[in-house]
Structure 1
Amino acid sequence: MPHKFNAERRDKIPKQRHRVTNWAEYNEGLRRRGDLTVWISEDALALWSAPRRTTRGGQPHYSDLAIELCLTLGLVFKQPLRQTQGLMRSIARLLGVGIAVPDFSILSRRGNGLTLRLKPRSKSDKPLQLVVDSTGLKIFGEGDWLEQKHKTKRKRRSWRKLHLGLDLVSGQIVCSDLTQDDVGDPTALPDLLDQVDGPVDLFLADGAYDGERTSDLLAARFGSAIEVTIPPPRNAILSPNAAKDPTARDRHIAEIAARGRMVWQKATGYNQRSRGETLMGRWKTVIGPKLKARTFENQKTEAKIGVRVLNRMTGLGSPSFKRTA
Structure 2
Amino acid sequence: MPHKFNAARRDKIPKQKYRVTNWPEYNESLRQRGDLTVWISEDALALWSAPRRTTRGGQPHYSDLAIELCLTLGLVFKQALRQTQGLMRSIAKLLGVEIMVPHFTTISRRGNGLRLPPKAVPQSAIPVHLVVDSTGLKVFGEGEWLEKKHKTKRKRRSWRKLHLGLDLVSGEIVCSDLTTDDVGDPTALPDLLDQVDGPVDLFLADGAYDGEPTSDLLAARFGPMIEVTIPPPKNAILSANAAHNPTARDCHIADIAIHGRMAWQKATGYNQRSRGETLMGRWKAVIGPKIKARNFGSQKTEAKIGVRVLNRMTGLGHPNFERTA
TM-score (norm: length of structure 2): 0.97
1:216-255 → structure 2 map (5 Å cutoff): 216-255=216-255
> What is the distance in 2 between the residues matched to 1:147 and 1:216?
47
Q: Does structure 2 retain, via aligned residues, the 8 Å contact 1:67–1:107?
A: yes
How do 1:141-290 and structure 2 match up within 5 A?
Answer: 141-143=141-143, 153-155=153-155, 157-290=157-290
Pairwise CA distance, 1:124: 1.5
Kindly indicate whether the alpha-carbon contact (under 8 Å) linking 1:141 and 1:156 is maintained by their aligned counterparts in 2: no
| Counterpart for residue 33 of structure 2 | 33
Secondary structure of residue in 2 paired with 1:61:
coil
Distance 1:151 1:248, change over 3 A: farther
How much has 1:153 moved relative to structure 2?
Answer: 4.1
Q: Any conservation in 2 of the 1:85–1:104 contact (CA below 8 Å)?
A: yes
Task: Specify the alignment match of 1:85 in structure 2.
Answer: 85
Bigger shift: residues 215-224 or 9-18? 9-18
May I ask how many residue pairs the two structures share in their alignment? 325
The 2-side partners of 1:226 and 1:148 are apart by 52
Moved more, 140-149 or 2-11: 140-149
Change (3 A) 1:324 1:110: same
Q: What letter matches 1:216 in structure 2? A: D
SS where residue 61 of structure 2 aligns? coil
- CA distance in 2: counterparts of 1:258 and 1:70, whole angstroms: 56
Cα offset for 1:270? 0.2
Q: Is the 8 A contact 2:207 2:230 kept in 1?
A: yes
Counterpart in the other structure of 2:44: 44
Q: Does 1:3 align with 2:22?
A: no
Q: Distance in 1 between matches of 2:137 and 2:231?
A: 25
Task: Show the counterpart of 2:61.
Answer: 61
Equivalences for 1:304-315 in 2 at 5 Å?
A: 304-315=304-315
Deviations 1:284-313 (A, max 9, x none): 000000010000000000000000000000
Q: Does the C-alpha gap of structure 1 residues 147 and 203 become closer, same or farther in structure 2, counting only changes over 3 Å?
A: farther
CA displacement, residues 164-183 of structure 1 (integer Å, 9 cap, x when unaligned): 00000000000000000010
- Structure 1, unaligned stretches of length 5 or more? none
2-structure distance, mates of 1:265, 1:144: 39
Aligned AA for 2:115? T
Structure 2: any 5+ residue segments left out of the alignment?
A: none
Alignment of 1:288-299 (within 5 A): 288-299=288-299
Distance 1:72 1:322 in 2: 33
The answer to whether the 8 A contact 1:141-1:154 is kept is no
Determine if the alignment matches structure 1 residue 104 to structure 2 residue 99.
no
SS at match of 1:91: helix
Whole-Å separation in 2 of the counterparts to 1:126 and 1:288? 32
Percent identical pairs in the alignment equals 85
Q: Which amino acid aligns with 2:213?
A: R
Deviations 1:245-277 (A, max 9, x none): 000000000000111000000000000000000
The match for 2:95 is 95
DSSP 3-state at the match of 1:228: strand
Residue identity opposite 2:310 in structure 1: L
- Aligned partner of residue 225 in structure 1, secondary structure: coil
Instruction: Give 1:2 deviation, angstroms.
Output: 3.6
Deviation at 1:4, TM superposition (A): 1.4
In the TM superposition, residue 6 of structure 1 has moved relative to its aligned partner by: 2.0
Mapped to 1, the partners of 2:112 and 2:251 lie a distance apart of 46
1:93-135 Cα offsets, whole Å, 9 max, x none, are 0000000000000000000000112101223121100000000
**Is residue 2:322 matched to residue 1:322?**
yes
**Superposed displacement of residue 9, structure 1:** 1.9
Matched to 1:80, the amino acid is A
- 2:297 counterpart SS class: helix
Write the deviation string for residues 2-40 of structure 1: whole angstroms up to 9, x where unpaired: 421222222221111100000000000000000000000
Q: How many angstroms does 1:149 deviate by?
A: 10
- The answer on whether the counterparts of 1:142 and 1:158 sit within 8 Å (CA) in structure 2 is no
SS at match of 1:6: helix
Q: Structure 1 residues 151 and 269, CA, compared in 2 at 3 Å: closer, same or farther?
A: farther
Cα deviation 1:203-252 (Å, max 9, x = unaligned): 00000000001000000000000000000000101110110100000000
